[in-house]
Amino acid sequence: MPEGSGYLFGDGEYDSRKFLNDVVDKGYMPVIKPRKISAGGFGSRIRDRIFNREIYKHRSVCEGFFGALTNWFGDRIPCFLEETTITRILLRVLAYALRILSRFSIK
């Protein structure tokens, strides 16, 4: 995981001590739904302090976009070079964003 900042959204499956500690070490703020038996550690304490259901609702927007992107293009990117993979992903995101923009401009 690269260094960064901002929120990192996830569901309850990402509520583990190792993952939360790694996320906080890299500079992100975990907005991860806690499970009934929550993980311990400093990452868990930070998650509990910043978790807000209103912020957590934004997770569905991102998942919906990438889910629709996967449905539109498929889930495979048939290439081996990293530069080609990144280019194809960015072109798919751009094409889908233009599709959404055209829907708004027509209405």
**Alpha carbon separation from 105 to 55, 61, 91, 100 (Å, rounded):** 28, 20, 21, 9
Task: Give the Cα separation of 90 and 86 in Å (integer).
Answer: 6
Q: How does residue 26 score in pLDDT terms, banded at 50, 70 and 90?
A: very high
- pLDDT tens-digit profile of 45-98? 788 788 888 888 888 877 887 788 788 777 777 788 889 888 988 888 888 888
CA 2, distance to chain mean position in Å, is 14
Q: How does residue 105 score in pLDDT terms, banded at 50, 70 and 90?
A: low
> Is the pLDDT reported for residue 34 higher than 60?
yes
Residue 96 contacts by C-beta under 8 Å, 6 or more apart in sequence? Answer: 65, 68, 69, 72, 73
Question: What is the SS3 assignment for 67?
Answer: helix
Q: Any idea where the domains of the chain sit in the sequence?
A: 7-56, 59-106
> Is the pLDDT reported for residue 104 higher than 80?
no
Q: Which residues pair with 29 in a beta bridge?
A: 7
